[in-house]
Amino acid sequence: MMMATDQAVQAVPPSLSAKVVGSFAYLTVRDRLPTILTKVIDTIHRNKNKFFEEYGEEGLEAEKAAIGLLSKLRNELQTDKTVLPLSDGLKDTDSWNLYLQRHQVLQGEPDSVSWFKSPWLYVECYMYRRIHEALWLNPPMIDFDVFNELKTQSFFESQQAVMGLCTYLQGLYSNMEVLSETQLMEQFYKLLQVSLWGNKCDLSISAGQENSQKASPIESLSKLQPFILVDDSNKVWSALISAKRPGESSKSTPGRVDIVLDNAGFELVTDLILADFLLSAGLVREVHFHGKSIPWFVSDVTASDFQWTIRQTMAANHKWMSKRGVQWQSYVREGVWSYHDHPFWTQPHEFCDMAADAPDLYTTLQGADLILFKGDLNYRKLTGDRDWDHAVAFETSLRGFGPAPLCSLRTLKANVQVGLQPGQGEKLSSQDPDWMTSGKYAVIQFYSPHREQ
């Protein structure tokens, strides 16, 4: 197995890590991750009766055993124990254990791969994978999503904002025929920003605290505009327009957009609205959504979240909201929308490792004309979650990753940010010390590899 760490080590900054006391990585591993684990344990315990009703004594035993494993995990984390191999025998177990061995070789001794001494991206991903292991080892609980209640709550608490978006879309579609290309472009920019700011509703960053969208998203855009530090919307639009390949007829054939999803709840709705607009405006032919195969980072989208959200939108007691839900269901049925997951998305690898470690996924993404990467975790993996200088080019931080033209839509919630103007990061640091982690700022960053024509 190849790791990007092997290549040009000198030129690449170190991984962000909890070994830097006082850093955001350190505070996350010390405070936020144990809080999330405590909430997971509490959720399982509160569902004790449900497990008993469904599985009898076996359900109670499973609840007790899973809590035991998770309490042990929390203790390992808090006392900076060595990272342990996985033992659940799932299809990604070997890959995870190889990754651990790799780090042991890199760090020189097995004991040095511990919670506070290893890359933050690695140990945070590892925690969520161990939560999955604790459930998997107790069969009645295999399909229990410990984060489901929080995701459901986030969706329902954002209903007003969702209704507002669906009503806005309805108004837009009634005039779609008369929109000039410039007006279409302006609407695209708006809905791209709605999808961008939808990323503020992230439950892993608030450690599961209520974090829903209540304000009208469209009305908030102009107030939020100054907080977009890099805005490559025009490049994203150009990539979409140039994806229209001349077809047999005089009309050109639109291309395919892939959206690598982040959070369920309100953010997912903003992604579906953007995808709906792209199709309705004839800007794309199909949209592929990529989500997680297991519950991940509290609020990340799984296949059941994706299907559930469409069903809930269909069932809404609001004319335009239910109309969109019906339309989304038919997009899925017709195959113009499709949902995909792959074990690589729930592994700790930087994306520059994808071509070597998940060549099938890399090849799949090469079929897209544009890839939108949503959210903070995807940004951390795009840039390797390393201590880059803020003025380093986005392309440099990708380290060769470029299956297709790509764009990161991200509100800043971790201390990695590249592609800024010289001095911009320093100025922000003096004005607002938490600018990289508060979710207040955002970027729309684009990169296009040179593809053969």
**DSSP line for 261-280:** --BSTHHHHHHHHHHHHHHH
Pick from 261, 296, 349, 300: nearest CA to 128: 296
Contacts of 341 (CB under 8 A, 6+ apart): 290, 291, 292, 293, 302, 303
What is the distance between the alpha carbons of residues 296 and 131, in angstroms, rounded to a whole number?
Answer: 9
What is the distance between the alpha carbons of residues 271 and 154, in angstroms, rounded to a whole number?
Answer: 15
Matching residue, tokens 């809590």: 67
pLDDT of residue 205: 42
pLDDT of residue 282: 94
In whole angstroms, how far apart are CA 431 and each of 24, 435, 438? 18, 9, 13
Pick from 351, 294, 348: nearest CA to 98: 348
pLDDT of residue 244: 67
β pairing state of 442-447 and 228-231: parallel
pLDDT of residue 7: 43
Global pTM? 0.94
pLDDT of residue 9: 43
* pLDDT < 50 positions in the chain: 2, 4-10, 202-208, 210-211, 248-250, 452-453
Instruction: Note the residue count of the chain.
Output: 453
pLDDT of residue 109: 82
Q: Please, are residues 414 and 384 in contact by the beta-carbon 8 Å criterion?
A: no
What is the distance between the alpha carbons of residues 29 and 63, in angstroms, rounded to a whole number?
Answer: 25
What is the distance between the alpha carbons of residues 254 and 246, in angstroms, rounded to a whole number?
Answer: 9
Pick from 265, 232, 250, 218: nearest CA to 405: 232
Contacts of 215 (CB under 8 A, 6+ apart): 161
Residue 372: which H helix or E strand, with range? strand 370-374
pLDDT of residue 2: 47
Percent share of the chain, pLDDT over 90: 85
Q: Please, are residues 95 and 129 in contact by the beta-carbon 8 Å criterion?
A: no
